Amino acid sequence: MTKSKRILDEMQQRFGIEPTSATYHETLRAYFLCDRIQEAISIFENMPQEKKDATVYSLMIMECCAAQQFENAKIYFNESVENKQIVDGRTFNILASKIIEKDGIQEAQNLMNTFEANSGEVTANLLQTMIDAYKDKSPEQVAALTTRLNQV
């Protein structure tokens, strides 16, 4: 067990202090900065659900994308949607870009539809990312996305 995890446990057990979402966020951030990705994932997965807010989910998704852990990033995105802790458009754009590279456009389109249905927020950057992905593959999709982009 790592020292910071022991500190979190001691805060709870010895002093009765419940770590906040911000405490968990900063602890996870420190692990990612030290390239201790699996430990960060372990802490996140053992966090109380009520401490997993949109900021924590955003951190997990962005850092998993940076570490090429796309499956985890998708899992955390879907979990954030299920728990009504929707990440921001910037985080989603990073996820969509990585998913296009790895899994293809259709997977990113499915995630975008889920994101839009739950957040109502589709940004110009996200639409441009999707247009770029479809550019050489589907002129019809490019036209439809360009129309949406012009409405944003």
Give pLDDT, residue 3: 64
Instruction: Tell whether the model's pLDDT for residue 1 goes beyond 60.
Output: no
- Here the CATH number for the domain that contains residue 99 is 1.25.40
Q: Is residue 130 included in any domain, yes or no? A: no
Q: How far apart are CA 33 and CA 144, in angstroms?
A: 40
CA distance 45 to 13: 19
* Model pLDDT for residues 17-60, shown as the tens digit of each residue: 788 899 899 989 999 999 999 999 999 999 999 999 999 999 99
| pTM for the full predicted model | 0.82
Domain that holds residue 64: 3-121
Binned at pLDDT 50, 70 and 90, residue 131 comes out as: confident
Evaluate whether residue 137 is within a structural domain.
no
Whether 131 is covered by a domain: the verdict is: no
Domain count, the chain: 1
**Helices assigned H by DSSP within 34-138:** 37-46, 54-66, 70-82, 89-103, 105-119, 124-134
Asked if the model's pLDDT at residue 5 lies above 70, the reply is no
pLDDT digits (tens, 9 = 90+) for 67-107: 999 999 999 999 999 999 989 888 988 998 888 888 778 88
Position 40 in a domain: yes
